[in-house]
């Protein structure tokens, strides 16, 4: 999928896909499958999509990437009983801020929006 994205002129990317738990729970009670899905959707997919569109944005010398995060990823203690979700959204925040600094000189703006 990301190879096909490299062929499309993407000017604005909004990474809004994400998931959380059905209900608050302790980490040891959450299935390995749920942990893997949270990481895949909230981190891996966002990172791969971003990586796929950056070469085109760089060559056109412009672009906007908006990553949808969560306050759970920016609070000092995260969101208790949602540790994996909070951790994945902390990644989105740190990833976005780092990319902003890396690409601002290339006229590519990266931001994180808290939902």
26, 82, 85, 91: the active-site residue: 85
Instruction: Work out the angle between the directed axes of helices 83-103 and 46-60 (0-180°, nearest 10).
Output: 10
85 has catalytic annotation: yes
Rg (CA), the chain: 15
For the chain, report the end-to-end CA distance as a whole number of angstroms. 26
What are the catalytic residues? 85
């Amino acid at each position: 999928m990301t190879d096909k994205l490299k062929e499309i002129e993407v000017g604005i990317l909004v990474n809004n896909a994400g998931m959380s738990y059905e209900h608050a729970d302790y980490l040891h009670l959450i299935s390995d499958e749920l942990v893997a899905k949270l990481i895949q959707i909230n981190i891996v997919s966002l990172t791969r999509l971003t990586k796929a569109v950056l070469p085109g944005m760089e060559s056109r010398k412009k672009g906007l990437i908006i990553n949808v995060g969560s306050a759970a990823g920016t609070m000092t203690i995260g969101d208790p009983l949602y540790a994996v979700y909070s951790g994945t959204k902390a990644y989105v925040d740190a990833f976005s801020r780092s990319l902003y600094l890396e690409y601002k000189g290339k006229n590519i703006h990266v931001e994180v929006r808290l939902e």
